[in-house]
Amino acid sequence: MSQDAGTREDADEYAALKREITQWVTGPGEQYAERIEATGEVPPELFAELRDRGYLSLAAPQRLGGRGIPFAQYLELMEIVSRSHASIRMLVHVINGTWRAMDPYMTDEQREKFVVPSVKGEKLVAFTLTEATGGTGADIHSTVRREGDRYLLNGEKHLITFGVKCDWWLLAARLEGSTGKDGIVAMMVPNTGLDGAEVVDDSQTMGVHGTDHAILRFHDTPVPVANRVGEEGQGLEVMLGGFLLPSRVSVAMSCVGLAERAQELAVQYAQRRETFGKKLAQRQAVQFLLAENYADIRAARALVLEAARAYENDDPEAGVLSSASKMVAVDMLTRVTDKALQIHGGQGYWKRNPIERVYRDARAQRFEEGTNEIQKLVVGRAVLTGQV
């Protein structure tokens, strides 16, 4: 269910915000992108700048310290941010989303301790669900057992974005001896050198350089019961409905934004590159590729915005549309970036050209927030059971 509580931005104010973000992405954002690729790290001043500009608190409601921009409008801003470096997009995407998982299930005291500092960009929360030996649903293997006023956590998590440098892990585990979704517990685990907790930096990736990723191992790690999010058995509801449903739509829109950047780079290159006395832009074969990209991007964008509106309106099809939008947008991004790279010819293979980074970064969306195979299962089952 949508937790957005904002009202639509004034048209002029919203247009000004879109221009501001566009100017930042094409100016300082590109400078940061070059720096991240050179160093492999997101500089602290980038995080501070995103926070101070309010880009990390666009979507959260005003009662939590956010701007309260409704989901569909927020996604249009995410579309712009996604034309920048993937790590910049990741920061904006995650921090503008984790509040949705926490807020509906927390007490007032928890909300002040965890949610408000996250929205303000003072504390970083890492979404911690995925495991190496299980899926990302009812089959997770990490366990907790309760002893008095604490849980003892055991197990392993992997592919945890921001898991190294975060302040808190929003983590799901199951009660020892339980099976299925009814035994899942969500909790806030502090990344503060807890007993029995091991953090392995696993940040050497093909793309999305600069964003840290972690493997986490726990052996009887104590977590206060007071840090539980919701009730025992609500863990998957917190993790999937609260975060993953809207996050899939946000990732789908990030595919649209990155595809638009790839198309922009391909057009620029085609207009300046000459072969045999002609600009590439004059060649019908290249025009066909660019035309296909345009249509592909526009079609995916329309579906993403339909999914966003369904989520805003608590439409029964919101979950299916979120999976469908990500499925379509991811495949679109694959086609568009491949054609954009092809237009660059051999030049596109060299790191000095931005299309090389865009091509690598695009691969991450194929598994982020669930692979396309999982999305197809969700959509296929809905179709066969008459839910759509």
Q: What confidence category does residue 1 fall into, taking pLDDT thresholds of 50, 70 and 90?
A: very low
**Which of the following CATH numbers is that of domain 125-233: 3.40.50.970, 2.40.110.10, 3.40.605.10, 1.10.1060.10?**
2.40.110.10
Contact 168, 114 (CB under 8 A): yes
Please write the tens of the pLDDT for every residue from 344-384. 999 999 999 999 999 999 998 888 888 889 899 999 999 99
> Which residues are tagged catalytic?
369
Res. 211: pLDDT tops 60: yes
State which fold the 237-384 domain adopts.
Butyryl-CoA Dehydrogenase, subunit A; domain 3 (1.20.140)
What percent of the chain is predicted at pLDDT more than 70? 97
Please write the tens of the pLDDT for every residue from 136-193. 677 899 999 999 999 999 999 999 999 999 999 999 999 999 988 889 999 999 999 8
pLDDT of residue 181: 82
Domain-by-domain residue ranges, the chain? 11-119, 125-233, 237-384
DSSP characters over 258-286: HHHHHHHHHHHHHHH-EETTEEGGGSHHH
Contacts 24+ apart (CB under 8 A), 178-185: 180/138, 181/137, 181/138, 181/233, 181/235, 181/236, 182/233, 183/232, 183/233, 184/138, 184/140, 184/233, 184/234, 184/235, 184/236, 184/239, 185/144, 185/151, 185/228, 185/232, 185/233, 185/234, 185/235
Q: What confidence category does residue 311 fall into, taking pLDDT thresholds of 50, 70 and 90?
A: very high
Amino acid at 271: Q
Place of tokens 């712009």: 80
Res. 124: pLDDT tops 70: yes
Contacts 24+ apart (CB under 8 A), 309-318: 309/72, 311/2, 311/71, 311/245, 311/246, 311/249, 312/2, 312/4, 312/70, 312/71, 312/72, 313/2, 314/1, 314/2, 316/387, 317/387, 317/388, 318/2, 318/245
Res. 290: pLDDT tops 70: yes
Q: What confidence category does residue 388 fall into, taking pLDDT thresholds of 50, 70 and 90?
A: confident
Res. 6: pLDDT tops 60: no
Please write the tens of the pLDDT for every residue from 213-247. 999 999 999 999 999 999 999 999 998 867 788 99
pLDDT of residue 5: 45
**15: buried, middle or exposed (CB in 10 Å: 19+, 13-18, 0-12)?**
exposed
Q: Across the chain, what does the average pLDDT equal?
A: 93
Please write the tens of the pLDDT for every residue from 38-53. 999 999 999 999 999 9
- Report the predicted TM-score, pTM, of the whole model to 2 decimal places: 0.91
Buried residues in 349-378 as b, exposed as e (16+ CB within 10 A): eeeebbbbbbbbbbbbbeebbbebebbeeb
Question: Domain 11-119 is classified in which CATH homologous superfamily?
Answer: Acyl-CoA dehydrogenase/oxidase, N-terminal domain (1.10.540.10)
Place of tokens 């995080």: 47
